Chains A and B, each alone.
Chain A
Amino acid sequence: MDFAGSTAHCWAVNKVGVPGYGLLPSRRLRRGMLPLVALALAACSGPSNTLGDSAIPVPSSTASDGASTLGVPPPPLGAATGPAAGPAVGSGVDPGVTSPASSVTPAPAVPASDEAAAVPSARTPLAPRISKQEYTNTIYDVLGVSLTAEELDAAAGGIMDDAGDGVFKHFTDKQTSTEQQALAYFNVAESLVTRIAPETLQTFGSCSEATDTCAAAFVDAVGQRLFRSPLDERALGVYAALFAAVTEDGGDYPEAARAVVHAMLQAPQFLFHIENETSGTAGTDRRLDGYELAARLASFVWVSAPDTTLLDAAAAGKLDDDAGVTEQVERMLQDPKAQRFTETFISQFSRARLATFDGATPEQVAALHESIVATFQHHFWEAGRSVADLFTTTEFVVNEPVAEILQLKLTGTGLQAVDVGQLPERVGFLTHPGMIAGMGDRAIGSFVNRGKYLLERLLCKNPGAFPAAAQTELDAFNRNTEGFNERERAEVRMMRPECWSCHTQFEPLAFGFARFDAAGRYVGEMDADGKALPLDGWVPTSSEDDSPHYDNVSEYMQILAQDTTVQQCMTEHFLEFATAHSTDDTTKANAQYVGKSYIDGGSTLVAMVGAVVQSPLFSQLQTVAVDTSTGATQDAPAAQGGN
C-alpha cells in the first residue's frame, strides 16, 4: 500500500540534528542508561496503555493487496467535501489572520508503512453506557429539555461525571456502575419529564387520548428516538403496559406519557448502546445494521441520538453501504450539532475546565476553556487544517482573560482570532494557555505533572503510578532540592537511578514548557531567582537513541507535527473517542487504516471523521457467542435488533 507523500516525513527521516544538550547531567547520564531502557519501559507501563510499543501488530485478517475485507475500499470522505462549514467561532474573528500552517511541513497522520494500512478487524463488543454529555444532549434534542445545574451536579444528587483513567472519560471498558448513578438516573429523569412541554409530547404519536391506540403510537414514536431504533413487539408491550397502568390508576395522557419517558430514560436501550452482539457466527466480523450504525454515528459526531433523518436512512437501508454512510456523515457534519464533537473532544483533551492554578477564578477557568475550545473548533471547522497543523499553528481564538494571559491587547470584545506567532514560545495549540492550565499545576509548572499529561496525549502511554514504597525517598528528595527550579529538580531526578527509568520517559516532554507558569503565562527566560530556564529537551519514544531532540519550542512542535508516533497516537485518540473504548491492539491496527484514509481524504478533520466511521472498528463488530450462563427462561419473544 502506498502512503503517497507520507514517507518523506516518516520516523526514519524525521530525526533532526541533536541539539546542544551536552551540558545537562541528564544527557550524559542517559548514555549509561541505554541497556536499561527496555526494562524501564516495561516498569513504567501503566495498566491501561502499552509503553514503547512502536511495532504495530499487523492484523491476521490483512489482505495481501490491502483491499477491504468487505470488498469495498474506503472512499475518501473529506476529499469531495472539503472543510465542513461549522458555525463561525465568533463575530470578532480577525479576517486578516495569516495561516501559520503554510510555514511548516505538512505531515501524515500515521506512520508510513506500506503494509500497515491493510484492513484490520473489528472488536468484540462491550455495551457502552452513554456519556454524561450524550445523555444531556439526547434529552435536549429529543425532548427539548435542558438539564438544570443541580441535575448535572453529582454532589447534589445529579448525573455523575464520566470517570476512569485515560484522556477521555466515557470508555466502555473503564465504566463502572454505582448505586449513586442508578439513583441519579431515576431522580433526574423523574424531575426532567415534568418539564417536557405538552406540545413536545404531542409530537410523538398521532393522538393524545388515554387510549391503547394513542399509547401505542406514543411509545412507538418516542421509543424510537430515545432507543435509537424502532421498538420490537416485546418492548412496545412493556411500555404500553406501563402507560396503561398509570391511566388505570387515574392518570391522564400527559402523566402516563411522562411515566413512559421516565422509565425509558433509565432503560438499558437508552442508557447503553445495545447492539445485537450474538448475531452471526461467533468470532467473525459483521457490519453493523443501519440502526446500530446510526446510533454510533450520532454518538460520535453529535454526542447525541440520531435524528429522524438518520433513522429514516437506517430504515431505508441507506447505511448499509459506505456511500450511504458518507452521505449521512457529510450531512451530519454540516449540522451545528457536530460542533459538540470537537468541543467535547478538546474539552477532555485539554482539561482546561479543571485548571487549578493558584488564584484561578471560575471566570478565568471558563475563559480558558472557551478559548481552547474555540481555537480547536476554528482550526478544524473554519480553517480546515490538519491534525499535524495543530502542533504548529500560531492562530489562537481568544477572549479577554486569555488575551491578558498572553499579554495581548484586543481591540474588540468576545472571541477573536489572533496570531501569536510574534509572542515568545507560542507555537502550536499545546502552548495555548488553556492547554497549559489544563496540565493541572497550582503554582509552578511541575515537569512531572506536565510530562505525564503530555505523555498520555502525545505518545498514548501511561506512566503508571508513583511507587508508594519510594515515598520516603521522595520526601528526602523534596527536602534536598528546596530552592531548585523545576529544570534543576528534573536533572537531579534523572541522575537518581530509582527515578530516571520512569522520569526520562515523560519529563523531557515538559522541558519545552519551562517558561510558562501554571496559568500558561510566559515568565521569561529566567526564573524569579535569576536562573536560566532552558527549553531544550527530547521526545522520548521507543528508543533513547532515536529520540529526536529539540532546542526550542518551535523545533519541539515541528517534531511533534512530523513524528509518526505522535500522529499514530492522535489517530488513536479519535478512534478512542468515536468508539468509546480505550486503545488496544485492535485500535492500533485500525489507526493505521484510518490514517491512510485520512491522508487520502485530504488530512482535514472531515477526512478524519470519514476515515474513522469507515473503519472496521467503528462500522463493524465481532460477533460473540450466545451466552448460555443465564438459565432463566424469559416469557418475552426473542429480541429483535437492539430492543
Chain B
Amino acid sequence: MSRILPRRSFLHGLGTVAIGLPFLEEMRPRSSRAQDSDPPMRLLTMFFGLGLPRDQMLEDFKGPLEPYEPLKDKMAIFRNLELKQSHDYGSGEPHFKVGDVTFVGDPQSKEYEASGPSLEQLVKKALHPDGPPTLLGSKSIGMWFRTGSVSQYTRHWNFDGSPGERPERRPTTIFEEFFGSTTETPTTPGGGMDLEVAHATHTKRSVLDTVLGEYQFYTGDRSPLGSESKLKLSVHLDNIRSIERRLVPVEQTLTGPMAQEAGCAIPDGVTDPGTDVPYDLPQGGAGGSAPVIQYTDFADAFQLQGQLMALALRCDVVRFGSMLFVGAGGHVGFRGVYEALGESIDFTSDLPGTSPHDLYFHNNRWDKVRLHQHLAQANLAGVLQTFDDQNYLEANGKTLLDNMLVVMGTDYGGGGTTTGHVPEGVFHAIAGGHGHFKPGFYDDVYNIIDLYYTALKPYGIDPGMGAGRHPKYRHDPIEISELLV
C-alpha cells in the first residue's frame, strides 16, 4: 500500500522530545502483573460518517478497508452488524437517530438525546467513580462541519443521555486544552511579567472556582434538591469542569510533577493546517449546501488531531475520548483528486453541487463511494498508526494502540443494489485492546449491542444495554465469544 495521506508535521518540536510514559497498570510487563486480565485503561471511540457498503467491505483489504491492512493483526473488523433499533424507535432524521445509538447501543429516549452514556463514559465511570486522575476527564475532537443536529457530531453522551462535549476542531485549541499555555507567566513585549493579564487570569480562576463550588454544594449532601434535580445540575457541573481548562489555561501542565516524572516533554507548539473552510465555521449545511474543503487540508488537520490525541494519551493527560472524521450523514464535500486502489476520483468534478451524503444514500454512486470512503479509512488508519508508532513504546514494550482500546463505528451499511439508510451490514471495529480481542474479520450478524457488551467484558462491566435503558426497546445481549481471547 502506498502512503496516501500527507504527513506534514504541524507539531513544533515533535521528534526532538521524549514522549511521556505514564505507568498504567496495563503497561506492566506480563511477568510482573498481578493479573493478566487487566483491561485497557484508555478507551477511544472513533466515528466516521456515511458508512461502508457491505459488498465493498467483503473485498477484504482490496477495497475501502485497504488502509487497515498494516494493522490487520491488531483489529477485529465487523462487517455485518445491525442497528435496527435506531430506525425502529425515536424521532428525527435517520442520521440523528443513528448518531444517538452508535457507541450507546440502545435507541434514543428522545430526540437529540441518547438513552445512556457512550462507551468511553461508561468505562470512565466504572474505572474511576470519582473521576480519573488525569487533567481532563475525557476529550472529544474531530473534523466535521454539519451542525444540523447535536446527534450528528456528538459521540460523547452523558449518563442522563444528554450530549457531552462538542468535538473540538482547531488543533491549536486542542493543544492548549491538552497541554495548557506554552508560556507560564504572561509577559509584556519587553519581557517583563504582564501583571494585567496575570490579574485577569487570576480573577477568571476565582470566578470559576466560585461557580464550581456552588454546583458542588447543590449536588452535595447538604443540597435542598432531590436526586433528579441534583443529577441535572451535576451534568452542568461536569460541563463546567470540562471547559475549565479552555477558560483558564493551566500553565503548570508543562512542568507539573506528573509530566516530569513521566518524562513527558511537550512540543513547543502547534500550527493549524490551513484550510479554506474556517475551523470555527458556525454552521455547516447539508447536501449541496455542505461546506467544501480540499481533502488534503482536511486530512492534515485530522492527522494532527490524531497526533495530539496520541500525545495526550501517552502523557496521561486524558484516558478517554472520541474522534470524529465527518459527522453522521457525511455532509462535507471534498475538493481535489484522490487516487487509491488503482482508481481515482476528482471530488470537484465527480461531486459537483452535492455532498457525499447524496452520493451514498440517494444516488447509488457506489464507485465514487468506494474511493470516498477509502479516504476516510486511510485517515482513520493513519491515526491508528500514530497510536501504533513503534518509536514510542510504553513501559511494557507495547505501543499505545496495543495498550488502549479503540472502538470504531459509523452510520450505515447497505451498498450493492441496496439503497437508502440501511441499518444492516454495518461496519464496526475494535483496535488494540491490550490483548483481549482476536483480530480478523467477523461476518456473522450481531447487533451493535452484542459487540459493545462483549467489548466491555474485560472490564467486568455489564452496561445494561437492551435491558430497560429505553422504555420499550429490549435486546438480550449476546456475548461474541469468538472475539474474546
A residues 172-191 near B (Cβ < 8 Å) are 172, 174-183, 186, 190
Q: Say whether B225 contacts A634, CB under 8 Å.
A: no
User: Measured between alpha carbons, how far is A234 from B94 in the docked complex, in Å?
Assistant: 49
Closest to A629 in B: B227
B-side contacts of A127, CB under 8 Å? 225, 229, 232-233
Interface members, chain A 538-565 (any B CB < 8 Å):
none
A14 within 8 A of B: no
A526-B211 Cα distance, complex, nearest whole Å: 62
Q: Is B226 an interface residue (CB 8 A)?
A: yes
Judge whether A179 and B206 touch: CB under 8 Å.
no
- Whether B225 contacts A277 by the Cβ 8 Å rule is yes
A12 at interface (Cβ–Cβ under 8 A)?
no
B343 within 8 A of A: no
Binds A, one of B62-70, B235-243, B320-328: B235-243
| Distance between A562 CB and nearest chain B CB, rounded to angstroms | 32
User: How distant is B217 from chain A, measured CB to nearest CB, in Å?
Assistant: 6
Nearest residue, chain A, Cβ from B362: A475
- B211 & A175 in contact (Cβ 8 Å cutoff): no
Count CB-based A-B contacts (< 8 Å).
Answer: 192
**Which of the candidate stretches A114-122, A255-263, A435-443 sits at the interface with the other chain?**
A255-263
A residues near B225, Cβ cutoff 8 Å = 127, 274, 277-278, 627
A177 touches B210 (CB 8 A): no
Contact A47 B91 (CB under 8 A): yes
Q: Is A125 located at the chain interface by the 8 A CB criterion? A: yes
Q: CB-CB contacts of B387-423 with A at 8 A, as 1s and 0s?
A: 0000000000000000000000000000000001100
State whether the Cβ of A632 lies closer than 8 Å to any Cβ in chain B.
yes
Contacts known (A46-B91, A274-B224, A636-B222); A183 close to B230, Cβ less than 8 A:
no
Inter-chain CA distance A467–B147, complex, in Å, is 23
B421 touches A275 (CB 8 A): no
Cα distance, A634 to B165, chains bound together (Å):
28
Question: Of residues 264 to 314 in A, which have CB atoms within 8 Å of B's CB atoms?
Answer: 266-269, 271-272, 274-279
Cβ of B482 < 8 Å from any Cβ of A?
Answer: no
Listed stretches B23-31, B74-82, B104-112, B452-460; interface member: B104-112
> A242 touching B109 by the CB < 8 A rule?
no
Q: How far is the CB of A509 from chain B (nearest CB, A)?
A: 19
- Distance between A260 CB and nearest chain B CB, rounded to angstroms: 8
Give the residue name and chain of the B residue nearest to A466 (CB): B91
Q: How many residues of A contact B (CB 8 A)?
A: 77
State in angstroms the CA–CA spacing of A249 and B197 once bound together: 12
Docked pose: A235 CA to B211 CA in angstroms:
11
Question: CA of A124 to CA of B90 in the docked complex: distance in angstroms?
Answer: 26
Do A178 and B163 touch across chains, with their CB atoms under 8 A apart? Answer: yes
- B283 contact from A155, A172, A465, Cβ within 8 A: A155
**Smallest CB separation, A67 vs chain B (Å):** 29
Q: Say yes or no: is B332 at the interface (Cβ < 8 Å to chain A).
A: no
The residues of B that contact A626 with a CB separation of less than 8 Å are: 226
Which residues of A sit under 8 angstroms from B242, Cβ to Cβ?
A: 179, 182
- CB-CB under 8 A from B445, the residues of chain A are none
Residues of A within 8 A of B195 (CB): 250
A177 touches B221 (CB 8 A): no
A622 — nearest CB in chain B belongs to which residue? B226
Chain B residues positioned under 8 Å from A251 (CB to CB): 199, 203
Q: Are A177 and B235 in contact (CB under 8 A)?
A: yes
Check if B233 sits within 8 Å of A272, measured CB to CB: yes
Q: Is the beta-carbon distance between B91 and A238 smaller than 8 angstroms?
A: no
Contacts of A125 in B (CB 8 A): 226, 228-229
Q: How far is the CA of A637 from the CA of B210 in the complex (A)?
A: 16
Can you identify 17 A-B contacts, CB atoms within 8 angstroms? A125-B228, A127-B232, A127-B233, A164-B112, A165-B110, A177-B236, A179-B239, A182-B243, A183-B247, A186-B240, A251-B203, A274-B225, A467-B87, A630-B220, A630-B221, A637-B222, A639-B224
B residues with CB within 8 A of A: 87-88, 90-92, 94, 97, 109-113, 147, 150, 160-166, 195, 199, 202-204, 206-208, 210-211, 213-230, 232-233, 235-236, 239-240, 242-243, 246-247, 282-283, 420-421
* A-B CB proximity, top 5 nearest: A155-B282, A465-B91, A624-B226, A176-B162, A127-B229
